[in-house]
Structure 1
Amino acid sequence: MIVQEPIQVIIWDCLNNYEYDNAIFLAERLHAEVTSEESAFLLGTCYYRAGRVNEAHHLLQNISLTLPQARFLLAKCSVDLKSYKDAEVALGSNLDIVASEFGEQAPYALQLLAKIYNITERRNKAADAHRKALSLNPFMWKSFAQLCNMGEKVDPHQVFQINNSDFSFGVSTLVNLVSNSENISIINTNIPNNTGMNPTVTPNNVALRTPMTMSTSITPETQVPVKRMHSVFSGMAPIPFSPSFGMLPMEESPVMYTPTLTDSNEQKAIPKIVNSLRVQMGQLKDAVFSPAPRCTLGPAPRRSSRLFSNNNSSYSVKENNKSPSRKFVAPKSPSRKNKQRSAKNLKTNSVDSNERNKNIESITPTITPKNSNGLALLNLLRELGEAYKSLAFLDCKNAIKLFQEIPIRQLNSPWVQTMIARAHYELAQFEAAAKIFTDIRKHYPNRTEGMDIYSTCLWHLQREAQLSALAQELVELDRSNSIAWLAAGNCFSLHKERETALKFFKRAVQIEPDAAYAHALLGHEYAVAEETDKALASFRTAVSIDPRNYVAWFGIATVYARQERWKASEVHIRRALAIHPHSGVLRCQLGLAQAALGKMDRALATLERAVALDTENPLCRFHRASVLLRAGRPQDALTDLHLLKDIAPRESLVYYLLGKVHNKLGNSHLALMHFSWATDLDPKGTGGHIKEGFDPSKQEDPPERST
């Protein structure tokens, strides 16, 4: 008897329990005996999960691949190693062919293909691939988010639904979710409660609380909701082993449990299957690693034909099926009567399976939003999708409103709170954003998502102590995370230690070279250090990675403004405004460029709009006051400046501009008094950029950085 499948089960069991070294050892033994694409794929999976991407890539690259699962793994390895051409070749470039060849794995293959297209700056193709992935599986949230981030107009109400002709397997998934509570209870009870979740899940909340793993998925070919487990390489012809590998003597061996097609896919059959497998493996000591007499192989066990067949169903179901921890004892050889009873039971199980198939088929057409938890999940995704779309298009006030209307449990989750904080940040409401991020840090101290934005908020608020603590905590938590080094860079930037700040921003870019925000922050630090060529290079890298990164477009505009290339500055700031039309800071920069080009009326109108958009932003009022002074309206400028003196009582530029206004009005004593205060507050600034004028584009150290 060939025992290839028991070895595969043991390997997957090791992978499921994160014992990668053991999985690799066994998979290498299997591949040494069975040098085939299937065994190479399993070994490659072990390598990849253990982080040995180069080994997985070399293994799969040097064999002829026909299995979609193996091609997908090769593509994953190639993308990780930045061999994008090899990855595209492995997947194929025709979206329809990819969708048909990869079966249930097609949405993930298309998503990976979209990533390749995006990196290689074929963004229209990337958008098409993401749309195709969503049409096949509306639960592909990442594709929806990527489309929004790319500026694509996607309607959540059209995306998150099941009445799409291309949605080939979602209906079956929903059938599984709305199956009777008894089946759901069996499934969840048999899965070990490793996630800390309550295994008793009611039908009304199973869609939101049950882990969305392949162990809870169902395919169109097998619509019985309790069918779960199948052999990893089932459906293939037996692969020959060497004479001493995997052979069991048949004469005196006990009758093992042989799963039927139904039982092999049922979660409740796992104990029987694993019991049988462990008994078989217990005999390997004599049968595999010691000389054994040749024997005649018995009939191969019945297998599911789903895996590695034309159906291209998922190969990873076993990954999520954990064997219960119990002591197994080898059974005695059963009597003839027991054998007959066992055969009768197997036949009964097969009949029951057919009945369940009929029952499911009969209820499939009656699924409605009222009785489908899967549809409840789609409804939630639609709500989240509307809010996320508003945030992606920087309609931040509407995004905050929509996120706050999400059900309370979802609203209190760290992801939703991070999105709300991001919306406040984009509105330059740094205090509100920082407050939310502080609360997230309190309840989720190991969470790093959004902490780069948090550090920038603290930079704007000039919270040196908080920013230093945040940077130190993040670096200690994970030194290989680029977000930690961005926080450290912001910290030293706030302390005006330019060289150290640049060092940490460069480190962040080195760790994650595709992070557009990291390149943008590096560019701003170069700009402040007056290394304009390097600043422009960093900004241009950022927009090549993400053309919608308005922070980088703003940075290019400010560099050109420092060089008094006002026309180029205006062009680039308009690019930023096209992405973020609700930003008062960007409109301020546009107003300055227009004023420098002599378009005073247009500049004042732009600055009026900026103040209206962001009434609490002192930078907008400062710029308006400066342009009013240049336009010959010093008395009007005083209104904004007196308000600014109350808002920012220690800002030297405000006092310096007040001095210039009073000088223009002929109030010499008031002018000298404000110039003196400005000098006391910032002697270096007064001796340098303040004497050059009020224009922030000429300052060595501008008071604000665009969000």
Structure 2
Amino acid sequence: MAPSPTHIASQLRQLVYYHLDNNLLKNALFLASRLVAYEPRSAEAAYLLAYCQLQSGFVKAAWDISRPAGARGSHLGCSYVFAQASLELGRFVDGLTALEKSKHLWQNRNTWGQHNESRRQHLPDAAAVLCLKGKLWKAHKDIDQAVESWAAALKLNPFMWDAFMGLCEAGAKVSVPNVYKMSTEMIAMTHVSQQQAAKIENPSMTLPAAVSQTHNASHANPAPADPFVSTHKQSGHSQLGNSVLWEKLNGSKMSVNTTGTVLDEEGSNTPSTEVEVNEGILQGGAVNHYHEPPPAPVRKAKSTADVPADPPPRWKTGSTRLKAKAKVASDDTAVLHDAPAPTAPSKRTVSGQPTSMAHAPSGTAEGTRRSNRLLNTGRPPSTSSTTGSKISSLANTLGLREGRDIKKAKAPVVRPRTANTSTVGRVVSGNRTRTGSTDAMDVDTKEQRTAANAPPVPPLPSSKLRIESAVNKDLEAIQTLLDLFGRIASAQLCLSNYDCQTAIQIYNSLPSAQRETPYILTQIGKAYYEQGQYADAEKFFIRVRQLAPNRLEDMEVYSTVLWHLKSEIELAYLAHELISIDRLSPQAWCAIGNSFSLQREHEQALKCFKRSTQLDPQFAYGYTLQGHEYIANEEFEKALEAYRAAVAADGRHYNAWYGLGKVYEKMGKWGIAEQHYRTAAKINPTNAVLICCIGLVLERLKHPEKALQMYTRACTLAPNSALSRFKKARCLMSLGRPREALAELLILRDVVPDEANVWFLMGRLYKTLREKGNAVRAFTMALNLDPKAAQYIKDAMESLDDEEEDPYDQDEDMD
């Protein structure tokens, strides 16, 4: 008889997953198309085909295949693939709508701890969907909704690094300690994961009711639901399906994941209700225009120390020392339906009766077995049943279930009827008398009295101890990872807020194995670059190139570092290497453009920068470099267009705001230039160059006192900045405070002793203070350092009482 299409489709699905797991995308795509032919109306088949197409790079085809079920929200996998394809295709609203319609399928899903070498979850959970929603909202230019989605994703899964980076790039104020801490959900899911793993290794062991319910749910649904909440909505005042378990774990009657359900019942129709779970993650709104998300209800936080050493009773595995109520043997068999069935009629329950007999409804596990034995007043069992009962007794003592393969016992041997402390509590069956004996009840009564007076026997090593040990090790490993991620996240948050010195200190405090990785070294190099310490930044980027010679990420920053260091040969070599790695990467074309720019070939540099933005329209740095080249060519209108494109791609790209201010400054529009400089300084408040630019514009607007405040702040941020201190000295000189200006120049003389501007300005100050000897020495030093200005310097020396035109009055001389 030919197999049914259902069985054929099942085999095809297994083959598709096999080839996906082995990264054989072409094979998986071909098999998925065969599956759709067998099940043309199956949303699962459409999901697999769309997923294979998306992984293979056929984004439009994946969008078309997943749209029927994905746009309606009837299948979570289709909606997820449809949203991912929509993000790639720029159809952001379609993707957000699909995810919102499928909200009832993912809002309570939590697959923490469900992925390992032998298990996989092919459908996303709430954290993954929320992370994708954040990306869609960001692409849709709604940063507030993106921040809420990313914060909700981190609440469910703190290791969602994409979500954390999204919050950093959005400028949100994040409380890192509240993100990377052990939560009750992690502890509970770790217990469930280990118990399920133990169940797979030993199918005959008895699992607690909570784990058994989760196990059954996984058979009913391909992806198991959250074990802490009900998978359906309750009406009235009824409790959630697993509320008792949640109360024991958290001391409350609601899981974090149930918030969306409750809000839906109360009639909330907002597209993003996940903000209710963001308690403690966001400290405030994002930088600039981002407003603060609504506050979430206060929720009691629990640390690892608050969790009892042993799990709740319902989570313990079967043994002779269980504290919870014993389950009926027939019920256990029904719950664990994958356990082996009894193989011989001699199998008995602990009372010696067949498994269909009812047990006492109350008492502990051990007490139940004894009471059932005492109630056994029927016909004495035969020799064969005695043997089977002894085997069953031993199995129960060792914590084993009936149905597990046990080595067959030898023939029964007549033993004395006197019970001693070595046998009491170990033999629990009442079938110890010889066949045909009529004093079974007497023996049972005597043994019960003896057992009551006997000291307790230490329990044998059981699966419960192994599970507890594994859980403790897993929790220690998770806590170690949380600490590591918390430190990296703190450094990343400082770097995104341009607190570069703090970021460098945190990165350097990481373990050497973690610090000496390309990603961390790159972040340290970027921190030095933002501080203007290009030589130090170069050292770290060189180390990155040694560890990962094919790395492309952030290499555009390295090329700019080499541009500032005027390293033509190194920059040309870097551009050549990057273009050989991937000629279609925007970083490679950015490096080539910087190489041409350093050689003052601005037209060639512009072509390369434009190519980088063609390859990646969201590459904001490429637009900014175009603007710099247009300024060099004095094409101010084109420069404005380039900078505006960079701001449109990334609203927090302060370099583009600085470029806009520089263009308006050169055009003589001081007020507009000040606005753009202040916007850039609001994003990067630690950049001394931006503060100096604001001071310069204020001087042009005839506000010298405010300009002096800006210069003083810049000197505080960068004490070794020659530009800031020089402008401060000139501002003090213009305000008629020559001695304060001279003090600044004396400091600057030690910083840049070979700068002619400093010596010439010192000569003018000495002349003002009528210190002619010092003035002559200062002018002489300036003349030696800059012979081209000899005429002006000689005139100043010959007539110290006359004011000459300052040949270094251009601000660009100290840039």
Per the TM superposition, whether the score is higher than 0.5 is: yes
CA apart distance, 1:405: 1.4
Q: Is the 8 A contact 2:204 2:403 kept in 1?
A: no
SS at match of 1:92: helix
Identity across matched positions, percent: 32
SS at match of 2:220: coil
The farther-off stretch of 78-87 and 649-658 is 649-658
SS at match of 2:510: coil
1:326 alignment partner in structure 2: none
CA apart distance, 1:495: 1.5
1:677 alignment partner in structure 2: 788
| Structure-2 separation of matches of 1:395 and 1:593 | 25
How far does the alpha carbon of each residue in 1:100-138 deviate from its partner, in whole angstroms, 9 at most, with x for none? 378752111111111111122211111111111111112
| Structure-2 separation of matches of 1:30 and 1:477 | 38
Residue in structure 2 matching 1:60, options 55, 62, 66: 66
2:134 alignment partner in structure 1: 114
| Structure-2 separation of matches of 1:388 and 1:675 | 44
1:282 alignment partner in structure 2: none
| Structure-1 separation of matches of 2:688 and 2:623 | 23
| Distance verdict in 2 for CA 1:371–1:133, change over 3 Å | closer
| Structure-1 separation of matches of 2:79 and 2:546 | 43
Q: Is the 8 A contact 1:652 1:677 kept in 2?
A: no
1:306 alignment partner in structure 2: 221
Structure number with higher relative contact order (C-alpha < 8 Å, ≥ 6 residues apart): 1
Say if 2:480 is the partner of 1:376.
yes
Residue in structure 2 matching 1:473, options 577, 600, 604: 577
| Structure-2 separation of matches of 1:260 and 1:5 | 24
SS at match of 2:634: coil
How far does the alpha carbon of each residue in 1:576-625 deviate from its partner, in whole angstroms, 9 at most, with x for none? 22222221111111121121122223323322332232233333344345
SS at match of 2:196: coil
1:4 alignment partner in structure 2: 9
Q: Which amino acid aligns with 1:304?
A: H
| Distance verdict in 2 for CA 1:637–1:110, change over 3 Å | same
CA apart distance, 1:456: 1.4
Residue in structure 2 matching 1:612, options 698, 712, 716: 716
How far does the alpha carbon of each residue in 1:446-492 deviate from its partner, in whole angstroms, 9 at most, with x for none? 11222121111111111111111111111111112211122222222
Q: Is the 8 A contact 1:67 1:308 kept in 2?
A: no
SS at match of 1:372: helix
When the two chains are superposed, the root-mean-square deviation of aligned CA atoms in Å is 4.2
Say if 2:536 is the partner of 1:432.
yes
Q: Which amino acid aligns with 1:174?
A: T
Say if 2:161 is the partner of 1:145.
no
| Structure-2 separation of matches of 1:59 and 1:502 | 41
1:51 alignment partner in structure 2: 57
1:171 alignment partner in structure 2: 187
| Distance verdict in 2 for CA 1:544–1:654, change over 3 Å | farther
| Structure-1 separation of matches of 2:647 and 2:101 | 26
| Structure-2 separation of matches of 1:7 and 1:350 | 36
CA apart distance, 1:159: 1.0
Residue in structure 1 matching 2:45, options 23, 39, 42: 39
SS at match of 1:615: coil
Say if 2:148 is the partner of 1:128.
yes
SS at match of 1:51: coil
The farther-off stretch of 558-567 and 71-80 is 558-567
| Distance verdict in 2 for CA 1:588–1:528, change over 3 Å | same
Q: Which amino acid aligns with 2:220?
A: S
Q: Which amino acid aligns with 1:28?
A: S
1:208 alignment partner in structure 2: none
Q: Is the 8 A contact 1:656 1:675 kept in 2?
A: no
CA apart distance, 1:560: 1.5
Say if 2:443 is the partner of 1:443.
no
| Distance verdict in 2 for CA 1:308–1:158, change over 3 Å | closer
Say if 2:558 is the partner of 1:550.
no
The farther-off stretch of 118-127 and 89-98 is 89-98
| Distance verdict in 2 for CA 1:260–1:368, change over 3 Å | closer
| Structure-2 separation of matches of 1:695 and 1:174 | 66
CA apart distance, 1:693: 6.4
Q: Is the 8 A contact 2:109 2:126 kept in 1?
A: yes
| Distance verdict in 2 for CA 1:424–1:172, change over 3 Å | same
Say if 2:683 is the partner of 1:573.
no
| Structure-1 separation of matches of 2:404 and 2:654 | 61
How far does the alpha carbon of each residue in 1:34-84 deviate from its partner, in whole angstroms, 9 at most, with x for none? 212111111111111111112111212245651111110111111111111
1:523 alignment partner in structure 2: 627
Q: Is the 8 A contact 2:732 2:741 kept in 1?
A: yes
Matches within 5 A, 1:253-332: 304-307=219-222
| Structure-1 separation of matches of 2:735 and 2:697 | 14
With normalisation by structure 2, the TM-score equals: 0.59
How far does the alpha carbon of each residue in 1:220-252 deviate from its partner, in whole angstroms, 9 at most, with x for none? xxx5136789xxxxxxxxxxxxxxxxxxxxxxx
Q: Is the 8 A contact 1:101 1:312 kept in 2?
A: no
1:594 alignment partner in structure 2: 698
| Structure-2 separation of matches of 1:482 and 1:151 | 24
SS at match of 1:445: coil
| Structure-1 separation of matches of 2:67 and 2:790 | 68
Q: Is the 8 A contact 1:659 1:675 kept in 2?
A: no
| Structure-2 separation of matches of 1:52 and 1:654 | 62
1:514 alignment partner in structure 2: 618
| Structure-2 separation of matches of 1:562 and 1:45 | 52
1:316 alignment partner in structure 2: none
2:89 alignment partner in structure 1: 81
Q: How many correspondences in the alignment?
A: 543
CA apart distance, 1:312: 12
1:224 alignment partner in structure 2: 196
Q: Is the 8 A contact 2:754 2:785 kept in 1?
A: no
How far does the alpha carbon of each residue in 1:248-296 deviate from its partner, in whole angstroms, 9 at most, with x for none? xxxxxxxxxxx9999xxxxxxxxxxxxxxxxxxxxxxxxxxxxxxxxxx
| Distance verdict in 2 for CA 1:37–1:228, change over 3 Å | farther
| Structure-2 separation of matches of 1:507 and 1:571 | 31
Q: Is the 8 A contact 1:663 1:671 kept in 2?
A: no
CA apart distance, 1:524: 2.3
SS at match of 2:107: helix
1:399 alignment partner in structure 2: 503
Q: Is the 8 A contact 1:554 1:573 kept in 2?
A: yes
CA apart distance, 1:672: 7.2
How far does the alpha carbon of each residue in 1:347-394 deviate from its partner, in whole angstroms, 9 at most, with x for none? 9999779xxxx9679967996799521122112122222222221211
Higher alpha-carbon Rg = 2
CA apart distance, 1:304: 2.8
2:179 alignment partner in structure 1: 159
How far does the alpha carbon of each residue in 1:326-356 deviate from its partner, in whole angstroms, 9 at most, with x for none? xxxxxxxxxxxxxxx99779x9999779xxx
The farther-off stretch of 389-398 and 11-20 is 11-20
SS at match of 1:447: coil
SS at match of 2:197: coil
Q: Is the 8 A contact 2:93 2:140 kept in 1?
A: no
Q: Is the 8 A contact 2:198 2:467 kept in 1?
A: no
| Distance verdict in 2 for CA 1:105–1:602, change over 3 Å | same
Q: Which amino acid aligns with 2:39?
A: V
| Structure-2 separation of matches of 1:567 and 1:418 | 37
| Structure-2 separation of matches of 1:21 and 1:366 | 39
Q: Is the 8 A contact 1:41 1:60 kept in 2?
A: yes
Q: Which amino acid aligns with 1:145?
A: M
Residue in structure 1 matching 2:24, options 19, 22, 27: 19
How far does the alpha carbon of each residue in 1:643-685 deviate from its partner, in whole angstroms, 9 at most, with x for none? 87887799898799899989999979887776643699xxxxx
